[in-house]
Amino acid sequence: MQEMILILDFGSQYTQLIARRIREINVYCEIHPWNKIPELTPNIKGVILSGSPFSTRDENAPRPDLSAVKGKFPLLGICFGAQYLANSFGGEVLPSTIREYGRANLSFVDGGHELTKGMSTGSQVWMSHGDTIKHIAANFKVIASTHDVENAGYYIENEQTYGIQFHPEVYHSTEGAVLLHNFVVSICGCSQNWTPDSFVDSTVAELKATIGNDKVILGLSGGVDSSVAAVLLHKAIGANLHCIFVDNGLLRKNEFASVLDSYKDMGLNVKGVDASEKFYAELQGLTDPELKRKAIGKVFIDVFDEESKLVTDAKWLGQGTIYPDVIESVSVNGGPSQTIKSHHNVGGLPDYMKLKVIEPLRLLFKDEVRRVGKSLKISDAILQRHPFPGPGLGIRILGDVTREKVQILQEVDAIFINGLKEDGLYGDVWQAGAIFLPIQSVGVMGDERTYEHAVALRAVTSTDGMTADWCHLPYEFLAKISNRIINQVKGINRVTYDISSKPPATIEWE
């Protein structure tokens, strides 16, 4: 079994970052809810307790039973996790007299201790808490402090149990990666053998064992996730994989034909299905973002149900679902993380659809998917494509969706994306697109007054889509693209640029 670190999630906004940082050092980890601790098998090398929006003093705060973990596995509590351990084993947690949110600096760190080895006094850390560990038990020993928090880091004598008040998983904790490496590699003894090649080998073997000689239907989109999922499945089951690329009428300009063409040399069995009229009919009159997402998801399921019946003995539906999709749609494995938005490819299938779901990428972040794709020798033309939402332009048109609006937005989007490529900026952007706004504005063209639509351009930089910053594109480029859009796309007389980060905004507007 693959060695792993178990992360118990108490609902922190940073829990997924803990997983990312651990995977960056080639160690596999999984997130599970604090109240659904899995079987503690020998391949689990250590356990991490996440932060939480709760206070340990809250009546309804999480109170996990750690009797099978503490003292038996290396255990690291982060923020709430550290407070819970301190409060549960002889210490006291009280409201902070000075709350710490954001940057702080270590005024003391024991650079010789196994957890904090290599860290330095003055190192910047990231705090996010309204309580503080006021007192610790006699067998707890301090190994880190800030000016305002004496017990910022501790260990328990004679056992491998540790707690830190700050968040090492956040980039702003400048030596946080050192601490996590110390815990995962030096203390837990992980061998750092979870690589893209090892993932491919283990996943292909698992797919073979799970699917056997069954046939799988897979929805392709032309994007990174579904392409990598398709190649993994093809490597496992060969001709028993039947790929379907659905034109939902909400794709980018000319994308249906270009995507089908891109798969010709990959040896995949791909069928194109034009179902655009079905999607437009289902979307008619809908303006609420969640209702639109659910409508698009419903038609996708209906189309795949129809197509699956044309493949004799098809028993599985393959999907390119990745970790952020799961995290943003539902609490991780039924846990306490907050739902942000639904994804059409997450949450199972209706009872009438007699297919089981197979999701080979469900526990990978986007950059991990790309590394796996590179290991599979998939072309950069596919691997380096920007992410594109499953519901397509349907969630980039605010308000109701019509064919006319889609055609306008396709033209705007094509000018923007092609412009990024022409100016060598495409690779500097993680995701880009245009949004059709539900407003009209007054303009002037020639000597005439216009009252036409407005669009917003969106471009962000990110690593995995969990957080993102708006991309600082050159003013000259934005001016050129704005001019092209207004001159070439009939019906648009105003172009804006979105300078919101995630959080508080999301990458997509819906």
Catalytic residues: 79, 167, 169
Q: To which residue do tokens 């303009």 refer?
A: 443
Q: Which of 229, 228, 226 is nearest to 246 (CA)?
A: 226
Q: Which of 127, 134, 131, 133 is nearest to 104 (CA)?
A: 127
208 is written with which tokens? Answer: 């073979």
Is 147 in contact with 104 (CB distance < 8 Å)?
Answer: yes
Contacts of 54 (CB under 8 A, 6+ apart): 10, 11, 60, 61, 62, 80
Q: Is 184 helix (H, G, I), strand (E, B) or coil?
A: helix
Is 161 in contact with 188 (CB distance < 8 Å)?
Answer: no
Q: Is 94 helix (H, G, I), strand (E, B) or coil?
A: strand
Rounded to whole angstroms, the Cα distance separating 60 from 57 reads 9
Contacts of 288 (CB under 8 A, 6+ apart): none
Residue 442 pairs in a beta bridge with 451
Decide: residue 454, CB within 10 A, 0-12 exposed, 13-18 middle, 19+ buried.
middle
Is 224 in contact with 373 (CB distance < 8 Å)?
Answer: yes
Q: Which of 195, 85, 200, 79 is nearest to 128 (CA)?
A: 79
Q: Please give the angle made by the CA atoms of 58, 64 and 70, to the nearest 5 degrees.
A: 125
Q: Which of 394, 423, 312, 319 is nearest to 364 (CA)?
A: 319
Q: To which residue do tokens 């920007």 refer?
A: 386
Question: Helix 196-211 to helix 366-375 angle, to the nearest 10 degrees?
Answer: 90
How many CB atoms are located within 10 Å of the residue 224 CB?
25
H/E element, 406 = helix 403-422
- Counting Cα atoms < 13 Å in the Cβ hemisphere of 43 gives 11
157 is written with which tokens? Answer: 């004598």
